[in-house]
Structures are given as C-alpha cells and as structure tokens.
A = this chain, B = another copy of it.
Amino acid sequence: MKIGFIGLGNMGAPMARNLLKHGHTVQVFDLNEVAVRALVDAGASACASPKLAATDVELVVTMLPASAHVRTVLTDENGVLAGIAPGVTIVDSSTIDPASAQAFAKLAQAHGNPFVDAPVSGGTGGAAAGTLTFMVGASEAVYAQVKPVLEAMGKNIVHCGETGMGQVAKICNNLLLGITMAGVAEAMSLGTALGIDSKVLAGIINTSTGRCWSSDTYNPYPGIVETAPSARGYTGGFGTDLMLKDLGLAADAARSAKQPIFLGALAQQLYQAMSSSGRGGLDFSAIIKLYERGEHAS
C-alpha cells in the first residue's frame, strides 16, 4: 500500500520503518531533516510538506506530540487536507484528547475522508519491535480497512468503538496506571519503613489482591524487577513528563465529562512535583522518590 507518514519522532520513525519492512511504499514528512534523511536511507521518499506527503496515497498516518500539531498538520494551507484525495483514510496515532479527535474527524469527514484515532502504548521499544498496542476508534468498516496496516507496526490492535474511543481507552488506562504506580510506591515505601523485606512484600502483593502491573512487572522499588527502570536508576521507560501529559488529558476529559477524579487529580500533582523538582525526565516510577526519607539543608 502507498502510505503518507507525517511525524518522525522517537515513536513515528520506527513505526514508519516497520511499514517499509512490511513492503509498504512510504512517503514521509517531518520538520526535522535528519529524521527525514534516516527514513529515506531506509527506503522512504521525502516530501516537502504534509500536503505533498498526503498526495497520491492510499492512507495517511500522523504521529505528533499534541493536539495543536495535529490541527496544523491537517488544516494548514500546506496541510494534509489540502493534498489528500477524497475517500482516503487518515490514521492519527498521536495521544490527544478525545474531543479534539472527534473534532478532527468532523473536519476530515466534511472533506470526504474517514479519520481514525489510533493512539499506541508500548513505548519506543514496542515501536521498534513492532509490538505496539493500537487502541482504535473507528467504524467497523474503516477499522477492518486499517487493521492490516496497523499490524505491520503493532501486535495488539484493539477496536475501542467509534471515533475518539481509542483516545478514551488510552487516557483511562494511563489514568489508572498513574494511580496504581503511586499506590505501589506508597505501599512499598511504607512496608519497608516498617521493616518488611522488599522482595517478600512484593511477592505477597503480586499473589494477592494488591496485584497490578505497576507491582509485578514494573515495580518502582529497586531490586524487585530486573527489567524495570527502577533497576537502572529510573532511566529509559515512560517519562514522568509523558505521564504528566496523559494525566493532563485525563483531567481535561474529566472536566468536559463533569466527572470527579479524586485520586487521579492528586496523582497528577505528585508527578507535577517530580517534574517541578527537575526530575521530569526520569521514568514515571521514580515517583517513589517522593516517599523517601532524607535530610534537607532546610
């Protein structure tokens, strides 16, 4: 299939590579010329604008930092909608708020183009390995059409409902993730302060009702899970500032839905405190540092 791909950052670049590896023809655009050149070396062709990248293709994929970038890439005078042929589907894998996704879908639809929200989880590792999870918001028909393409980039392709529901699924999962991680940090910090061995406590939690991914797969207490960022100084993984972005999207969505999120809003402030203290680049499991006892000069 001939695909236009816009957004070659840490996630987008390996995703576009996987499309090439699966035999698709890919034409790319990014403001960063180095990123474009690397993709061209891998077999893609370079385009001078989103408009040109969307011209003469069977599918457009966008992978961008935030809602404002998606809006610009779509609606600019040199944007996707200026170049795309009627009927061609746009897949946006950016993580943005559901309301924006739905608004973009309306814009695209008015232009004759189906719009699919398909945010991912799995991080840069999953993007490189082609094992991402895609959470897809689309009609049944459009979902059936894009699924094979997404399978070139991911392992789990999940249909979450109509447009916007991919974003809803992602932010609700990450809201819960932000809460459980802080919860594990509290439980592990409290338990070890009270004298229990950290491995014993984790072992009990992992086979009991406190069991969760944040404990059994990604435990923030150093020395429990060898493959977790806590075992390597909280480097790599899913950055605190990215968690903060997703909790911000959850807070926005909660406000629009008129739903309270008591624990989510508090967790958001805790990650904010980590970020404000200069630690936003550490993996989000570094939240456990807020529970460490120590000495301040005052």
Contacts and interface: CB of A to CB of B under 8 A. Distances in A.
Interface string A202-218: 01110111111111001
A173 B18 CA distance: 42
Given A133-B207, A255-B272, 20 more contacts: A121-B208, A156-B207, A160-B196, A168-B191, A168-B196, A172-B196, A173-B205, A179-B186, A179-B187, A186-B263, A211-B212, A259-B272, A260-B270, A260-B272, A260-B273, A260-B290, A262-B266, A263-B266, A276-B293, A277-B294
B296 A279 contact: yes
Given A161-B196, A191-B168, A208 B295 contact: no
Among the interface residues A159, A233, A254, which one has the most CB atoms of the partner chain B within 10 A?
A254
Interface string A172-189: 111111011011101111
A48 interface: no
A57 to B, nearest CB: 29
A269 interface: yes
A265 B186 CA distance: 11
A263 B266 CA distance: 7
A264 B263 CA distance: 9
Given A161-B196, A298-B233, A180 B183 contact: yes
Given A258-B293, A266-B262, A293-B276, A175 B196 contact: no
